[in-house]
């Protein structure tokens, strides 16, 4: 085991307790409460809400409560190694930033602020197709830090191909294809608020700057936003794609491809048959299907189906360090976080995101030590007991 020593541990905690540090929340619940107090109701509900009755949002949290950690004693935990090795890269922490679009409805700096904070921590950011800022601007803000690009399929394959090429040129190192959003879900909070931010021109930064989109639109996109939004609505999303369409992605990028939204072991096996490079077990944070299986509950079956042939990541419901360790113990290589960093963005912009990431890293570090483990590689199912 290659220990990271105390230097990296000091970096995790740096600034968290300095007298100059602006007092910011610590718990997820307090970040959420502060964001709720600051944001317009429709913006907060867009982030916090889930599909239908929001049963799946609650299922995700309940799943973590069904597993209990069983710590071990008298092990040397003087130095801890939080690194993960994934797709040929080594990352300092076992978490990444999930792709979340429309971040300008949360903070005017949106994804640029998030990219800067993630870069300071060396945490990979996954940038959404429906980001408020263009992917190139976000990449520049990340300043060489690792980043992946998340793809929503378009009806127009030429625009999809253009996005893939742009991502590769801009320095993204993997493509994440979100599978679980072929159509817009039934979200009662948004319907109650009569709020569909895309129709207001939010979240289309990549389209406004795409040469293929602009050429087909036939006019300067920002000079006639109604026409632009109408055209965007015609081509965004594609509910007709099937497994065979994955070959199209391979034809237009040399980057590793991960599929996000896998919950059934048979879909995981199909992913292997179609040659993907990684799987992300996810129910979109409970935002797509009301009453869906919790992502953590789906994880062990998918791990068994994949048999270590490709890395498996997991998101949906991660809130604290113990959650991360439970997911890793059940077979995930790394996890994605979503709402926590968005609430940090809402409360304090770049500083808020950085603080959320530091707090999560510190929580993982301390919980790892208190479990009697000194590296993530030493974690397995024996750490857990089913409640």
Query: Which residues are part of the catalytic machinery?
Result: 284
> Is-contact 142 125, C-beta < 8 A?
yes
- Which residue intervals of 143-288 are DSSP H helices? 157-169, 188-193, 205-208, 211-217, 225-235, 246-252, 265-273
Q: How many angstroms separate the CA atoms of 370 and 187, rounded?
A: 40
CA–CA distance, 278 with 231 (Å, rounded to integer): 33
Radius of gyration over every alpha carbon of the chain, rounded to an integer in angstroms:
20
Contact yes or no for 317/340 (Cβ under 8 A): no
For residues 357 and 268, give the distance between their C-alpha atoms in angstroms, rounded to a whole number: 30
> Do 94 and 324 form a contact (C-beta atoms < 8 A)?
yes
DSSP letters of 79-122? S-B--EEETTEEESSSEEEPP---GGGT-TTHHHHHHHHHHHHT
Q: Torsion angle of alpha carbons 291, 294, 295, 301, nearest 10°?
A: -110
- C-alpha neighbours within 13 Å on the C-beta side of residue 332: 25
Return d(Cα 17, Cα 8) in angstroms, integer.
Answer: 16
Rounded to whole angstroms, how far apart are CA atoms 124 and 169? 17
């Amino acid at each position: 085991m290659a220990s990271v020593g105390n230097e990296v541990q000091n970096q995790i905690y740096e600034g968290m307790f300095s007298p100059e540090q602006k007092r910011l929340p610590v718990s997820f619940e307090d970040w959420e409460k502060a964001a709720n107090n600051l944001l317009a109701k429709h913006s907060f509900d867009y982030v916090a809400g889930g599909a239908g009755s929001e049963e799946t949002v609650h299922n995700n949290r309940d799943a973590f409560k069904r597993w209990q950690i069983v710590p071990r004693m008298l092990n040397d935990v003087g130095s801890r190694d939080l690194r993960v090795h994934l797709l040929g890269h080594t990352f300092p922490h076992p978490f990444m930033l999930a792709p979340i679009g429309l971040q300008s409805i949360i903070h005017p700096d949106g994804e640029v602020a998030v990219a800067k904070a993630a870069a300071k921590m060396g945490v990979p950011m996954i940038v959404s197709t429906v980001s408020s800022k263009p992917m190139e601007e976000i990449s520049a803000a990340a300043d060489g830090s690792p980043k992946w690009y998340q793809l929503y399929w378009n009806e127009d394959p030429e625009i999809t191909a253009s996005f893939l090429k742009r991502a590769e040129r801009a320095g993204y190192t993997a493509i994440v294809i979100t599978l679980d959003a072929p159509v817009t879900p039934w979200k009662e909070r948004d319907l109650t608020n009569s709020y569909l931010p895309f129709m207001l021109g939010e979240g289309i930064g990549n389209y406004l700057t795409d040469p293929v989109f602009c050429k087909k639109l036939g006019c300067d996109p920002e000079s006639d936003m109604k026409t632009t939004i109408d055209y965007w609505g015609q081509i965004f999303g594609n509910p007709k794609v099937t497994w065979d369409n994955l070959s199209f992605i391979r034809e237009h990028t040399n980057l590793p491809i991960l599929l996000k939204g896998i919950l059934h072991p048979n879909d995981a096996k199909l992913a292997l048959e179609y040659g993907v490079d990684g799987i992300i077990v996810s129910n979109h944070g409970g935002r797509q299907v009301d009453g869906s299986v919790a992502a953590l509950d789906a994880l062990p079956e998918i791990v068994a189906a994949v048999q270590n042939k490709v890395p498996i990541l997991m998101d949906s419901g991660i809130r604290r360090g113990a959650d991360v360790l439970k997911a890793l113990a059940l077979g995930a290589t790394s996890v994605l976080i979503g709402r926590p960093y968005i609430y940090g963005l809402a409360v304090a912009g770049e500083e808020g995101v950085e603080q959320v990431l530091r707090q999560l890293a510190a929580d993982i570090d301390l919980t790892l030590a208190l479990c009697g483990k000194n590296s993530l590689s030493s974690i397995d199912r024996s750490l857990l007991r089913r409640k």
